[in-house]
Structure 1
Amino acid sequence: MKRIAIAGSSGGNLFNLGGKDPEKLIGEIKAQCQSAGVDIGLVQFIAASESMDVAKDHTAAVLYGWNEDEQRLAKRYEGTLKDTNETAAEADAELADRIRSGGIDGLIVMSADPQGSNRQAVQAAAEAGIPVVGTGGTSMAMISSKGANVIATSGTTGTTNRTRAVSFMTSLCKYWGIKYIPVLGSAGDKSAAPAGNPLRRINLKGIMQSSLPGFIAMAIVLAISQIPALKGLSEVFDLMLKALPVVLAVVAAKQISDMDEVSIVAGVIAGVLSVNGGIIGGIIGGIGAGLLVQYLFVKCVQWKFPMTTVNIVAGGLAGLISGLIMYYLIAPFALQLGEFIKYIINQAISFNPIIAGVVAGLLIWPAIIGGVYHAAILPIVLLEMEKTGNSFLGAIDMVGLVMVSAGITLANIIAPRDRGEAAVAAPGFLINMGFGTFVEAAYPFMFSNKVVFAGAIGAAGVGGGLVGLFNVRGTAYVPSFMGPFLSNNVVGFAAAMLVALILAMLVTLVANKAWRTGRKSEQKPEIEASA
C-alpha cells in the first residue's frame, strides 16, 4: 500500500475555496485515498481563522496532525499564527524524517510555505524523489525550483475540495500505475461510492423528487398571483416556468457527476440551453452535462492540465456541449413528448372526469404501496404542473393519499384499538395536515386491518370522483390548509379533501370498534371459565 502525506495551510485564496474547513478539505482527500487503496500517513496542516492574505502574527490558528489509528485529523496545537508556525517546525521535521526513511511515497501540498513551516519536508521530498502534487501557484513554483518531483501543479482559483482531491489522486495513481476510480458523494458519507459507470447513477425518480420544491414554489407564486393586488406576480410565474428545466438539469448533472460547483455550473448552462425542451429537455440536458463533466474532468487531469483549466473545461464545455445538442437537435422532440403525455391525460379526463377521478383514486394507494407512484405518477404530476402550476393527479394525491392517511390516523387518535396506537398515530396526523406528506403513517393501521385498508381505497376513490366532478387541479406536499388556495377550485378541492378525510376516519372508527367488541367477546369466556 502506498502512503502519502499532506502538508500546507488554509492559504489565501484557498481559504475561501474550502481551506477554512480542514475537516471537509482533508475529508475529501481521505475519501479518494480509500478508493485508491492509498493510506494517509501524516498530516501537517495550519488552519488560520482568516485568509493568509490578511492574517497577522496574532491571528488565531490551529496546527492539525493525523491520528493514524482513528484515521482522522487531530489538533496538535492552538494559538496565535506566529506561535503555530513555530510549533509546526517540529511537525515539519517529523515529516522530513518519515520521507527520508521511506515511510512516505507521495506528498500533497496545498498553499504550503517551502521556505518556512514546510521547508524541511519539501527538501526531503526533493532528495527522495517522491512525487509531489498540489495547488497554490506561488508555493508550487518555489517547490518545483527546489528540485522536487512535481508531477501535477495548479493554482487554486476555480477549484473545489472534491475536484482538487480527485486531481491529486488521479495524478499520483497514474504515476504509480495504480487503478483508481473517483468516489462521488459527500466526504465522510458512508453511502459514497466509486463513480464507476456514470450511466448507473442516472435515477429519474431521484431527479424528480429533488426538484419538487421548485414546482411547489411555482404553485405558491401562481396562487398568490390570483390576488387582485398581486396580479403582477403572473410575470414571476412565467419566469419560474422557464426556470424549471434549469432546476432539473442542475439536479441531474450533480446527481451523475457530483463534482460540487463544477457539476452545478455545467447543469445551469445545459439547463438554460434546454429550456425549449421543457422539463424532459432539462432532464436530458442535465444528464448529458453530468456525463460529460466526469469524462472531461478525468481526461483533462490525465493530460496534466492545471486544475483551474480542468474545472473550466469540465464545467463550462460539458454544459455547453450538452446544451447545444439539446438546443439544436433534441429540444423540439423532448417538448413534444411531454405535450403528448399531457394530451393523453387530458383526453382521459375530458372523456369522463368523474370516472377518471374515481379510477385514479382507487389506484393511488396500490401505486404507492407497490412503488409505482414515484416512478410513474410523480413525473406526470410534474409534467402537468409545468404549464399550469397545478395538476389533476396532484389533486388526487392530496385527496386520495394525504387526506385519507390523515383520516385514518385521526380515527386512531380519537378511538384507537389500544392506547399505544394513539401515540403512533398522532405524529403522522400532524405531518399529514401540516406538511401534506408522510402518507406512510397510515400503513400500520391499514396492513393490520383489512376493513381499514378497503376503507382507504374506497375513500380515495370517492375523493377522486369529487376531484373529477369539480374539475380540480391542485398539488400535495404543502400544508393541507394551503392546498385549496393553490388549486383552480378552492371550494371544490376543500370539499373533496374533507369528504375523503371524514370517510376514511369513519370507516376506521367502525373497524376499531368492531375489533374492540370482538376482543371483549373473546375475553369473556376466559373470565367465566377461570371463575
Structure 2
Amino acid sequence: MKTIAILGSSGGNLFNLGGKDPEKLIGEIIAQTGGADAAIGAVQFIAASESMDTAKDATPAALYGWDLDKRGIKKLFEGTLKETNEAAAALDAEIAESIQAGRIDGLIVMSADPEGANRQSVAAAAGRKLPVVGTGGTSMAQIAAKGANVISVSGTTGTTNRTRAVSFVQSLCKFWGLKYYPVLGGAPASGAAAPGSPWRKISLKGIMQASLPGFIAMAIVLALSQIPALKGLSEVFDLMLKALPVVLAVIAAKQVSDLDEVSIVAGVIAGALSVEGGIIGGIAGGIGAGLLVRYLFVQCVKWRFPMTTVNIVAGGIAGLISGLVMYYLLAPLALEIGEWIKEMINLAISFNPIVAGAIAGLLIWPAIIGGVYHAAILPIVLLEMEKTGNSFLGAVDMVGLVMVSAGITLANIVAPRDKGEAAVAAPGFLINMGFGTFVEAAYPFMFSNKTVFAGAIVSGGVGGALVGLFNVRGTAYVPSFMGPLLSNNVAGFAASMAVALVLAFIITVIANKAARVKARGQADIAA
C-alpha cells in the first residue's frame, strides 16, 4: 500500500472552488484512495477565512492535520494567518521526518508554500524523488525548481473537488503502476460489471421523483394564468413546458455520472438539444450525457489531460454528442412514444371516464403498497402534465390516496381504537392536508384492521369514479386547499376530494367502534 501526504492551503482561486471547505476538499481525495491500493498518511492544510490573494497576516485561519484513528482530518490550531503559518512549521517538520524515514510515498500539493510552511516537506520529497502532483501555478513551479519530481500539474479553473481528486490519485497510481478505478457515486467505476457501473445507476423512478417540483411549479403557473389579471403567465407556462426536458436531462445526467457540476453542464446541453423529444427525450438525452461524461472523464484522466480540459471534454463534448443524437435521430421517436402513452390514457377515459376513474381509484392503493406507483403511475402522471399542466391520474392520486389517508388518520384522531393512536395519526393528517403527500401515514391503521384496509380501497374507487364523472385533471403533492385551484374543474375536484375523505372517515370510525366493542367483549370474557 502506497501512502500519500496532502500539503497546502485553501489558496487563491482554489478558495472559491472548494478550498474554503477543507473537510469536503480533502474528503474527496480520501474517497478516491478507496479506488486504489493507497492511503493518506499525513495532512498539513492551512485554511484561511478568505482567498489567499487578499488575505493578510491578521486574517483568521486554521491548521488541519491527519487523525489516524478516525481516518479523517482534524483541526489542530486556530488563530491569525501568521500564527497558523508558524504553527504549521512544526507539523511540516514531522511530515518531512516521515518522508525521510520512507513512510510517505507521494505528495498531493494544493496552493502550497514551498518557501515557508511547506519548506521542509518539499525539500525532503525532492531529496527522495517522491512523485508530486498538485495545483497552484506559482507554488508548483517553485516546487519543481527545488528539484522535486513533479509528475502532474493541473489548474483549478473549471474543476471540482472530485475531478481534482481523481486527477491527483490517477497520476500517482499511474506513476506507481497501480490499478485505479475512480470512485464515482460511492463505488469504484471499473467497467460494466463494477459495483459503481453507471448502468446500474439509471433509475427512471429516481429521475421522475426528483423532477416532480418542476412539474408542480408548472401546474401553479398554469393555474395562475387562468386569472384574468395574470393572463400573461400563459407565455411563462409555455416556456416552462419547454424547460421540463432540460430539468429531466440534468437530473438524469447527474444521477448516472455523479460528477457534480460537470454532469450538470452536460445535462443542460443535452437537455436543450432534446427539447423536441419531450420529457422522454430529455430523460434519454440526460442518460446518454451521463454515460458519456463518466466514460470521457475517466479516459481523459488516463490520458493525463489537464484537469480543466478534462472537464471541458467530459461536460461539453459529452452533452453535445448526446444532445445531437437526440436532436437529429431520436427526438421524434421519443415524442411519439410519449404521445402514444397519453393517447392510450385518453382513449380509456373517453370510452367510459367513470369506469376508468373507478378502476384507477381501486388499484391505486395496491399499486403504492406493492411499489408499483412510483415506478409506473408517477411517470404517466408526469407525461400527462407535460401536455396540459395537470393529470387525470394526478387527480386520482390526490383523491384516492391523499384524501383517503387524511380521512383514515382524521378518524383515528376523533375516534381512535385507543388513545395512543390519536398521537400517531395527527402528524399524518396534517401532512396529508398541508402538503398533499405522506399517504403512508394510514398504513398502521390499514394493516391492523381489514375493514379499514377495505374501506381505503372502496373510498379510492368511489373518489376515482367521481374524478371520471367530473372529468377532473389535477395533481397531488400540493396543499389540499390548492388542489382544486390547480385543476381544470375546481368544484368537481373539491367534491371528489371531500367525498373520498368523508367516506374513508366514516368507514374507519365504524371499524374502530367495532374493534373497541370486540375488545371490551373479550376483556369481559377473560374477567
Instruction: Tell me the TM-score range normalised by the shorter chain.
Output: over 0.9
Which residue pairs with 1:267 in the alignment?
A: 267
Which residue pairs with 2:193 in the alignment?
A: none
Q: Which amino acid aligns with 1:92?
A: D
The offset of 1:5, in angstroms, is 0.5
Q: Which amino acid aligns with 2:302?
A: Q
The offset of 1:458, in angstroms, is 0.3
Which residue pairs with 2:114 in the alignment?
A: 114
Which residue pairs with 2:149 in the alignment?
A: 149
Which residue pairs with 2:509 in the alignment?
A: 509
Which residue pairs with 1:520 in the alignment?
A: 520
Which residue pairs with 1:193 in the alignment?
A: 187
The offset of 1:313, in angstroms, is 0.8
Q: Which amino acid aligns with 2:445?
A: F
Cα separation, 2, equivalents of 1:394 and 1:194: 39
TM-score, normalisation: structure 1: 0.97
Cα separation, 2, equivalents of 1:507 and 1:341: 36
Which residue pairs with 1:367 in the alignment?
A: 367
Cα offsets for 1:504-526 (capped at 9, x unmatched): 01000000001111111111223
Cα offsets for 1:479-507 (capped at 9, x unmatched): 11100000000000000000000000100
The offset of 1:184, in angstroms, is 2.5
Cα separation, 2, equivalents of 1:445 and 1:148: 70
My pick for the range that moved more, 151-160 or 489-498, is 151-160
Cα separation, 2, equivalents of 1:280 and 1:498: 35
Which residues of 2 match residues 379-398 of structure 1 at below 5 A? 379-398=379-398
Cα separation, 1, equivalents of 2:314 and 2:141: 25
The offset of 1:131, in angstroms, is 1.4
Q: Secondary structure at the match of 1:104?
A: coil
Which residues of 2 match residues 285-304 of structure 1 at below 5 A? 285-304=285-304
Whether the 8 Å contact between 2:250 and 2:267 is mirrored in structure 1 is yes
Cα offsets for 1:58-86 (capped at 9, x unmatched): 11111111111111211222111112112
Cα separation, 2, equivalents of 1:330 and 1:193: 31
The offset of 1:120, in angstroms, is 1.6
Cα separation, 1, equivalents of 2:349 and 2:415: 38
Which residue pairs with 1:188 in the alignment?
A: none
The offset of 1:169, in angstroms, is 1.4
Q: Is 1:495 matched with 2:490?
A: no
Which residues of 2 match residues 33-432 of structure 1 at below 5 A? 33-185=33-185, 192-195=186-189, 196-432=196-432
Q: Percent identity?
A: 79
Cα separation, 2, equivalents of 1:219 and 1:9: 48
Q: Which amino acid aligns with 1:255?
A: Q
Cα separation, 2, equivalents of 1:314 and 1:139: 27
- Count matched residues: 521
Cα offsets for 1:442-485 (capped at 9, x unmatched): 11111111111111000000000000000000000001110000
Whether the 8 Å contact between 1:338 and 1:383 is mirrored in structure 2 is yes
Whether the 8 Å contact between 1:137 and 1:156 is mirrored in structure 2 is no
Cα separation, 2, equivalents of 1:127 and 1:103: 14
Structure 1 gap segments, 5+ residues each: 186-191
Q: Is 1:26 matched with 2:20?
A: no
Q: Secondary structure at the match of 1:280?
A: helix
The offset of 1:3, in angstroms, is 0.9
Deviation above 6 Å: which 4+ runs of structure 1? none
Cα separation, 1, equivalents of 2:236 and 2:165: 40
Q: Secondary structure at the match of 2:304?
A: coil
Cα separation, 1, equivalents of 2:467 and 2:261: 43
Cα separation, 2, equivalents of 1:468 and 1:449: 29
Cα offsets for 1:386-432 (capped at 9, x unmatched): 01110000000000000000000000001111111111111111110
Whether the 8 Å contact between 2:182 and 2:298 is mirrored in structure 1 is no
Cα separation, 1, equivalents of 2:288 and 2:207: 14
Cα separation, 2, equivalents of 1:254 and 1:94: 41
Give me the CA root mean square deviation.
1.0
Q: Secondary structure at the match of 1:94?
A: helix
Q: Secondary structure at the match of 1:74?
A: strand
The offset of 1:35, in angstroms, is 3.2
The offset of 1:182, in angstroms, is 2.0
The offset of 1:114, in angstroms, is 1.6
